[in-house]
């Protein structure tokens, strides 16, 4: 039984270096693993403040017509991750696929929704999921924790 524990990385002697790792703000042992940022934030020792956020601004704005309207939206975004540089490398490598997915998602939005703060927050979540889906399909790992708007125009 103990051998199984060691083989399953029970004591952390072998790191899974194939996947990006969380980056701590301080050089101390972190009380959480990769799974803690994948949805279960109820872990008692989890706190986003323990991790270093890295931001990656996507070059150029995204412009798309909006669903059922003559209006269009133009947004610029920056992507945030708490993981190491491998996530940023994956974003750079697959930026064309990410741009396409973001534009497709933007085209499905309605003008009324984007005119409210709640709608914009909802779009942030949708874009985060969209980008993670692209990265998971292309690399096997998402790693994007949030999308921030650096400009936002609906006309």
- In terms of pTM, does the model score above 0.85? no
At 109-151, the pLDDT tens digits run: 999 999 999 999 999 999 999 999 999 999 999 999 999 999 9
Confidence of residue 16 (pLDDT cuts 50, 70, 90): low
Residue 58 has pLDDT above 80, yes or no: yes
Helix, strand, coil shares, percent, the chain, to 5: 40, 20, 40
Residue 4 has pLDDT above 70, yes or no: no
Walk me through the domains of the chain, giving residue ranges and CATH numbers.
1-155 (3.30.479.30)
Residue 37 has pLDDT above 70, yes or no: no
Instruction: Determine the Cα–Cα distance for residues 66 and 102; give it in Å rounded to an integer.
Output: 13
Phi, psi of 149 (to 5 degrees): -85, 130
Give every CB contact of residue 48 below 8 A, 6+ residues apart in sequence: 82
What is the mean predicted confidence (pLDDT) over 25-37? 57
Residue 56 has pLDDT above 90, yes or no: yes
Please give the full DSSP string across 35-94, using - where no structure is assigned. Answer: GGGTT-TT-TT--GGGB--EEEEPSS-EEEEPTTSS-EEEEEEEEEESB-HHHHHHHHHT
């Amino acid at each position: 039984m103990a051998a199984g524990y060691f083989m399953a990385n029970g004591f952390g002697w072998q790191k899974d270096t194939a996947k990006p790792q969380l980056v701590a703000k301080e050089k101390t042992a972190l009380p959480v693993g990769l799974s803690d940022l994948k949805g279960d934030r109820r872990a008692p020792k989890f706190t986003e403040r323990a991790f270093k956020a890295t931001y990656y601004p996507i070059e150029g704005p995204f412009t798309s017509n909006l669903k059922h309207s003559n209006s269009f939206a133009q947004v610029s975004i920056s992507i945030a991750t708490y993981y190491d540089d491998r996530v940023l490398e994956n974003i750079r490598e697959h930026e064309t696929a990410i741009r396409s997915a973001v534009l497709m998602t933007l085209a499905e939005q309605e003008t009324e929704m984007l005119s409210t703060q709640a709608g914009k927050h909802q779009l942030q979540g949708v874009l985060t999921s969209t980008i993670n889906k692209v990265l998971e399909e292309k690399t096997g790992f998402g790693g994007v924790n949030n999308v921030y708007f650096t400009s936002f125009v609906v006309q």
